Structure 1
Amino acid sequence: MENVLDVLKARGFIEQTTHDDALRDYLDSKQVTCYIGFDPTASSLHVGSLVPIMSLAHMQRNGHRPIALVGGGTGLVGDPSGKTEMRKIITVEDVAANVVGLKNQLSRFIDFSDNNAIMVNNADWLTKLEYIPFLRDIGRHFSVNRMVKAESYKMRLDSEEGLSFIEFNYMVLQAYDFLELRKGYDCRLQMGGSDQWGNIVAGIDLIRRVEGQSAFGITFPLITTASGAKMGKTAVGAVWLDPDRTSPYDYFQFWVNTDDRDVMRFLALFTFLPLDEIRSLATLEGSDLNAAKSILAFEATRLAHGDEEALKAYQSASSMFGSRRLPDALLPSSQIPRAQDTSDDETVPQLEMRVEEFKDGIPCFKLFHAVGLADSSGAARRLIQQGGGYVNGRRLERFDEMVTVKDIDDRQILLRAGKKHFFKIRIIS
């Protein structure tokens, strides 16, 4: 079997590793146990968490055992990494409720049955620590001089608010997590975002000092879009894995709207499709590249929400924006339906109108009111004047613009009000 380090590198997951040669030998030698920590400050993870989630899934698919550590204990303290101000302290009850949501979402990507993967909550050991024994047994191994040089602390030390004492303890607690997992599960590999480098190295050092054992670390790059935006951030906020916060359809649409320049990279990071198939897309453009985006959206939605919701989202998108035949040779390992017949799809409100009704044209505001996309003609005018009216995906510039036979596309006209409200007009002779 291919070394998982090569898999992760080839797909774009790795920014830094410790002890490169020893780590490779370690991953080749046996089934290893690795872990990543997840912050339970919200009841849902978001798209920005997908890189660590997918990395654990790749570890499992390559024969290793992942541990997903939910930070029920460290979440009560707050991680200063990458933050210029102190995180809001949340209650024990909030953390416990959030842990339940995170467990459900992680189970979509990782198989926890039969001990194939493990989920732990560091509250189980951190909340039971006694302060003086902890200082004597663990705290004595940490150099304050070295800690304040860590990138995760430097940003806060240089900020106006400064670094609180409770946050200063975070590195020690995360290092102690690593030690606990080494003792309890023989876990010797920790992975995390690039902002976790200092915390990971501190854990490796603690294991060496306390147990005389070697341990390893891998960090992931911060994923940004081709435009430079942080991954998962949109104009309306974060894209959540919780379907009650971001519906499967909206989740699907997030991926469909991927920048052309990001398609291959995101397919490598956020799906399990073979790399050789993904690399074959290098020369694609136009409609073929849009077809690849549909496959990216379908595969990403399958992972987060399951096959049924992915299919529903794909069918709804096809009924709204028109279906396209996906070439059999395009990413053939995908389970996306290759031919979509949405002629009988009823997921979008619709009615039939005769083509003759559009020969002289119908003012768009009257049409929006007539089909129920606005409560009144006045509301339809305001909607369109504010930029919220669309015909076949084209934004209307004037409220009295005429919708004519020229707007008929494949015997239909698709109206949209705002981001989510659609109406399909079927044209009959």
Structure 2
Amino acid sequence: MKGRRPPLASRTKWINNSASGRYRFSDDHPFHPVRLELTENLLRECGALDGLQMVRPFSLEHAEQVIRDIHRSDYVANVAALSTGNPSLDAIKQAAQCGLEGSGDTPYFAGMHEASVAVTAGSLAAAEEVMSGRAEHALHLAGGLHHAFPDRASGFCVYNDAAAAISYIREKYHARVLYIDTDVHHGDGVQWFYYTDPDVFTLSIHETGKFLFPGSGFPHERGDSTGYGACLNVSMEPYTEDESWLDCFRQAVEHAARVFRPDIIVSQHGCDAHAFDPLAHIHCSMKIYREMPRIIHQLAERYTQGKWMALGGGGYDHWRVVPRAWSLLWLEMNDHPLLARIDSEPNGGHLPEQWPTITASRKSDDPLPTTWLDDVASWTPMPRRAEITAKNQTMLELSLQHVG
């Protein structure tokens, strides 16, 4: 962009996550809000989170209206009925068909409707901050619930806040949206919301659905009707490492942006493709969580006049991976001076000695990281590296055939 940049506080906004802390299935559920608390704690210890950058979410009433515009009314009614402290037998009987079985991945809980609306309210605020011009970038880490469908919950996601934000952008600003999903699980919900829409391009890089939930996201999923060619899936082999992941990601997003010419980028930053994550089989390090935001930032500068809103998502190594990954995202969105040290020092340099300072209980005995990036030289090399890399490239080339 031309001219002198305005101060950081006016360029990048942090959406207050406090209300979204109620989005909590149970103390033992892998999708736990302690991830948000640890990330904010790390950024504050680094002096990288300014109170002037904080923005309030939308009102719950406004967010609920957008939710009702994209989700089926009977589904929203069932979610609300299951959210009471003592749901009726009729509501419980409907739980299974809504994807909210008490014994499933996405069990209903007291206050679920209100908590899910609060998540959506934050993502809508991020969209408005960027599209209104009050900020170039906005981050809502509690968002990114990309598996929810119009009529059912799935994969820890009740309402699809990413789809709500995109629909809000389309309805109010008529902008073309490039949605980039970096979660290790396919961004299926967002894809199917916009599968026939030529003005929303959905791109997802993820572990192949042959082995991982939700079992979709293959190269032949290309969009339909007028939306054909506005859907790109980069399906990666188990045990993929940094170089192959980043090479495929860079080729895919640059091709998509060049062909689609978006007005805004909406990105989802699940950080569960890390080797430490317990719910997937990808063997990447913290390097990809330094580089992917940088690549997206560069695309925003080239194609959208800087307009970029980012969301959180998955990530289930709460202490060792998520806080570092999401902090690196925020630092990149701010062009923070700390990045120069991270990029130049061995393993990114040291984390603050006093971090973490919160008192949340930790169930693992694995030592906490002391550096921003991982010492991959100490990791056991993956077998079949050349074969995995070749297969990933072949799948990428197959996926790109229909784009542009």
By percentage of residues, which structure has more strand?
1
Highest relative contact order (Cα 8 Å, sep 6+), 1 or 2? 2
Find the structure with the greater CA-based Rg. Answer: 1
Same fold, TM-score > 0.5, yes or no: no
Question: TM-score, normalised to structure 2's length?
Answer: 0.27
